Chains A and B, each alone.
Chain A
Amino acid sequence: MQDLLKIMLVALSVAAVHPLASAQSLSQKLRAEPATALVNAALASGNAVRGAILFPLQKSGCANCHAAGNSTLLGPDLTRLGHPVTNESLVEEILEPSKVIAKGFETATIVTTSGKSITGRIVKRSASEIVVRDTSPERRLTTLETADVEEIAENKVSAMPDNLIDQLKDRQHFLDLLRYVMEISADGTTQAPAETYSRGGGTIRQELQGLVLLKQFNCAGCHRDDVSPNSVPVNPGPNLTWSGGHVNPHYMQKFIADPAQVKPQTGMPDLMAGLSDEQRHSLALELTHYIVSLSEQSFRKQPVDDEAAVRGRELFHSVGCVACHSPRDDAGQEMLSKSSAPLGTLEDKYGIDGLSEFLKNPHEVRSGGRMPSLSLTHWEALDIAHYLLSRGSEDQSAADGSFVRDPEVAEKGRLHFRRFGCATCHGKNQNHTAATAPPMSSLRIDQGCLSEDVGPWPRFDLNIQQRQAIRAGLSGRTRVLSDEEHISVMLTAFRCANCHQRDELGGVSPERNPHFQTTNPNLGPQGRIPPTLTGVGGKLNPTWMRQVLLGGRLTRPYVRTRMPQYGTESLAALVDLFQTVDAVPEEKYAQFKDQKAMRTTGHEMVGTGGLNCIACHTFQLKQAANMPAVDLTEMSERLHKSWFYRYMRNPQQLSMNTIMPSYWPGGRSIRRDILDGDPDRQIEALWQYLLDGRQARQPRGLIIEPIELLATDEAVMLRRSYPGVGKRGIGVGYPQQVNIVFDAEQLRLAMIWQGKFADPGGVWRSQGHGTVRPLSRNVIRFAPGPDLDDANSPWIVDEGRPPQHRFKGYSLDKQRRPIFSYEFDDFTVTDYFVDAVDPKSQQSLLRRTLTLQSKQTDGHVTFRAADSEEITRGDDGTFRIGQTLKVRIASDQAGQVVDTESGHQLHVPLDTTETSSTLVLEYLW
């Protein structure tokens, strides 16, 4: 197990190590061997599981271009090579890729009429367009109009580098990889996947787009929605009670007076058509006074903190804001404003507090959920607010935001508010609007709000496409959406499709692609691009999906773009819709009798001895060596079993971006020694294991970080169980690299060693049933029983608690070294170990000072300083204890070597005729 882990870790760092290895590279050496020899060696000793794990690693890079069951990648789908494959030819193709390039996988360099040049593989070619997958790390798909193509030059050299194999550690790794590739390409005729990937990027039909806009502009506020009332939740205007306290009144006034001028594309209509600028201005002022009066808070501006703004910029461009809003350049200029949701001049509108509050909890202000919550912490929201407001307001009147309330003006404003019907969109209860205007089905679609005329109707800032879409939507007339249409309308309305692809619809656009980031590049594109929604209802359990959509539950911590939250009920309908539309029939599952046995087998398969899932998958938040792939302990909670079966059989077929290797290529297991190699039973065993969820037993190979307790400039201490010491051990590591365990139950020095202190893993992991392990092989242990005892009665030598001794605790000196304190009979005892360096030997030593105090003065007590099989008295006055340790009595008492059953003990009889006596011992090496 450890070997494999080591190997995989090495595999990650091969590039750095390799150049030093030898003059001849691995690929050169391998090319010198006959292909047959390599094939035979792979068959004899290649480990396909290890190969499967090497295959997707970034360093070897196979999965960047090749996959099983995905035909649009840069390299051939290895399960369907489409030409006669022998194992020998595979060796050749890996070692000399350019010798024979698979048909259709030649790379070409295409020069466009505008002079742009793209190198890649042509995946589709028709009369009108050419689709190229380029060789950039992103492997981007580009569609070119045939008319724009100036020249296509086919390349003679394969896109696969000749020396790719040099990324591997050694010949064995090559054999492992070869063995795996032999497995997946074994029959070369695997049937084509039923589903082929759509490129996405599509949008919904115009009339559906119209339905989205009808809700977005809250048309049902005035027109009863008899067209498609339940397609999407409506989008009311902001909660003005909040705005009154958080939006700059000067901005508010300007905005009300001419909404589209201040914020192009706003959903707020102009209600004052036909009025003069002066009239607009004064009405807007009165309305502003009214709105401000709704809040007890007053707008305030705060200074921008430049450091926070820097953090905010990073957050803005990574957590997901720019999936809908425009990314900004260094100067703060929007780069994609045309295709983005507008922000307007936030500097004029908000203060830091107001904007951060809105970002933290947007649904309090905008209940329609179009602006989702990105689960920002208070501090993240502040940082983003500092960034978005960092340019400062250019509007002088808005600069300080001060505003004097005037109740009389506000009262006038209140009357306008009623007159204009502002509450239609800004009221508390959106469902009880007067709906005075004609119902939607009877609207004349070229008049009123949908015309460009000015009249007694609200004027929305619609562009021509929007107008046409709304007209198309209205002409649908009380049509009932199919479930799939309903889904795509929802995905569009809430801009889910900006990040997620579902069949033809949506997906990350090329220009926003760079802003989708990952914490771990080893995962490839799946590490940063939000997962596909194609078939998602057949994949995820409804409970899980609800928790993700509405409860903020996440399982891909490596995707830096956060899954937004849209408010409790906005998206709830999607859960059922997905489940209905995407339902797939149950698979035929493997039958078994003994569930426990299956679970045990599954446990073995997940570990290093089986399919080694643990090499890449997180287990209970503990990251694997290679990459943080989805947590194994959440699989069964997330997934439908049928999906799990299908995915296991052919991962790329269901998930385009996955780098999960196929362990059952062509329906054959690469581990034929487990469960007779039966794929279904193997998959079932995994599932049975995963069903245990959080309770699943830790698989073999889970990396456990070592813990070490070390003394540096102070003593370190841990009261726990030590080997051979009861449960009341007190271990102390001293800065001079000497260590003891004091037994607080028996009041004795139990262990002593030089070197590093201890590994507490045995008591700090799992239930804590182990012991603290001293980090030395040369630990000296002393016999049970207390160190201080009555000289006239037999010495206690059992492991129990001595009846006359009572531990009283300890105090710490300035270096955190304990002074133990206990009582024995009538004596009060302190026992104090201090580390030092022996001037003679330059070795560290422990000086132990024992003090006794007693009211009585006629005791006969003896102190046991050490014991061993052999104790001899040295010439220098020290006692040699066994092989390595010496004890010197530094005070004026005399030691005696006493025979015991098991060897010798060093005793120091103590004179207790004084009320206080002191014994000083030195333990030396």
Chain B
Amino acid sequence: MSGFNLYTRGDRIFGIANASLMLLFVLSTLYPFIYIVSASVSSGFAVSSGQVVLWPVDPTLAAYKHVLSDRMFWISYGNTLYYAIVGTLASLIIMVPGAFALSRPRLRGRRLITFLIAFTLWFHAGQIPFFLNIRDLGLLDTRIGIVLAFACNAFNVILLKSYFESIPASFEEAARMDGATDFQLLWKIFIPLAKPALATVTLLCLVTRWNGYFWAMVLLRSEEKIPLQVYLKKLIVDLKSDDGFASRLMTAEYSFETITAAIMVASLIPVVIVYPYIQKYFTKGMTLGGVKE
């Protein structure tokens, strides 16, 4: 559509109206981010008294200093990194070989297995049986439980499988002619060829792990194991109503609001850093495997 000439007055007005509306939408998307960054570097008093509207007022790094000295912040941040990295590795280690095997026509029963995996997208047992199962497995309140229980999902398996299937059969034939085993076939031929799909799935897993809070909140009891999002939830949702807590935190320099703002910024930074890669692979890569999001 680019390269159009604006030749009539009406067209020009249309273009300007459209661009203005778009600008409005973009600014309203951007505003909460600007506000939260501004609030995190303003003084506690300025935020509590409603002086911060767009830019920082009485700039100070006091909230960040407080957050960086908060033991729970570091513990939960470390846990989130652990769940994101180990969880994503577990996902790849289980799903990539599985999806590869499932993509080979010589695998007996692959139709049935594919159906049983895809079926879990349609029908799931629900929160309670899932929870009781985790408990019966002895995985409640364990890090490995969080890593394992969310390692696979049918969507990613099917995405990987479709991508492996799209790789021409001649690659497999040639490799098998040279005496390659299935392990070698996967490791040396299919994984290098499936890099776009692997990147997409890796990013999907990382973002899901980084952002997930619900099951971590339900399954983990000890504070030492909770991820950042659960810690943040405790601060924002559970303690917000506890006025005693909020006022105890309040000093002239920082307040409950500036501290939660600082933690939100700290949690957003990694997402913003990987975002360019996410955008590249999600908007283009998702169509590669024949699956559009």
Is chain B a partner of chain A in the same complex? no
